[in-house]
Amino acid sequence: MEDRAVAPGNGEGGGAVGTAASSVSSSAPASSDASVPSLLDSRTLPPVAASSDDAAPRYLPREDGSAPSSLTFSEAFAQLRKTSSYVAPPPEKSQENKPPVRDAAATIYVNRRQKGNPMLKSVRNVGLEFRDGLIPDYVMGENSCCVLFLSVRYHLLHNTYLDERVQSVRKDDPTRYKTKLVLCFVDVDDNEVALREINRVALLSDFTLVLAWSWLEAARYLETFKAYENKSATIIKEKVEAEFLPKANDVLTSIRSVNKTDVVTLLSTFGTVKGLMNASMEELSLCPGVGAKKVRQLLETFQEPFTKQ
């Protein structure tokens, strides 16, 4: 009987496993051989075909019907404009010849003869609109206020100009404008005689004379005339208080060195203005804060006659 070597294991199964392992180990290449490429090396893998999802976007077909590989937005939009579904936008209306719309409440109408006036460069708070057919130089409203402009230097050269302009306004419609003004720019040092002549013409023609010593001041007057064209005179009228104490303060503080604190002290002591006026020097001297000087001035005011002899 021949002796056979059996690999350790559970019977014949263990020998089969050992035989298979030895065959695999004998057929596998040696790992130490660097010249043999590995099965996991990416260089040995075949190239992967690009999918349709990775292709460049296609917007529109070309004119010949073939699909382009890619189109820019400009090219795609140009193709879209050639289709029958494209509707061109309406052309924009030209605004070059259209006059700007101005607010009449903040616009001064200017006679075209004033187009070269340097004062207009200083007018910033209101709009200016040149109009044909205006008789005055400036019109604030249709029937509210009109202005004639004149410089003293021009008056010295043409001394009848203002009278002619005033007469033209009066001849047009003497009752049309509620307020008529002569805005005079004083640009001459020796102006006393000229201003007297200008004032005489304005006064006799029912115009109000307003003097300005700079272009900026004249422009501010013009803007103010426009701002107050529809305002009543009550806005500049002094407000009269209805209460007793404000009235007493207004009257008694007009006496020199008498202040509002003294008024309160005197009225609280004598009760009324009549009682204060009938008080004697000794009674006034007893009031706190009222010295001899104030007492003397109070008595002189109360005892002074209304009419001088």
Per-residue pLDDT reduced to its tens digit, 135-176: 899 998 777 788 999 999 999 999 999 999 999 988 877 677
* Contact between residue 59 and residue 71 where contact means Cβ atoms under 8 Å apart: yes
| Residue appearing with tokens 């509620």 | 178
Low-confidence ranges of the chain (pLDDT < 70): 1-71, 93-105, 174, 307-309
Place of tokens 């004639």: 148
Q: How many CA atoms lie within 13 A of 135 on its CB side?
A: 19
Task: Pick the closest to residue 211 from 223, 198, 200, 224 (CA basis).
Answer: 198
Please report, for residues 28, 29, 33, the alpha-carbon distance to residue 41 in angstroms, rounded to integers and kept in the order given: 17, 16, 15
Could you give the residue ranges of the DSSP H alpha helices within the chain? Answer: 12-27, 73-81, 152-157, 161-172, 192-204, 215-227, 244-252, 260-270, 273-277, 281-285, 292-303
3-state per-residue secondary structure call for 38-69: CCCCHHHCCCCCCCHHHCCCCCCCCCCCCCCC
DSSP 112: G
Domain with CATH 3.40.50.10130 in the chain: 107-232
- Check whether domain 107-232 has CATH 3.40.50.10130, yes or no: yes
**Which residues 6+ apart lie within 8 Å of 118 measured at CB?**
215
Torsions phi, psi for 157 (to 5 deg): -85, -35
In the three-class reduction of DSSP (H, G, I as helix; E, B as strand; rest coil), residue 191 is classed as: coil
Whole-number Å distance between alpha carbons of 168 and 74 = 67
188 contacts 211 by C-beta, under 8 angstroms: no
pTM: 0.48
> How is residue 117 written in tokens?
């006036």
Which segments of the chain belong to CATH 1.10.150.20? 244-303
The gap from C-alpha 54 to its chain's centroid, in whole angstroms, comes to 56
Domain at 244-303: CATH code: 1.10.150.20
Q: CA triplet 300, 302, 304: central angle to 5 degrees? A: 60
- Residue 20's pLDDT is 43
pLDDT value of residue 11: 44
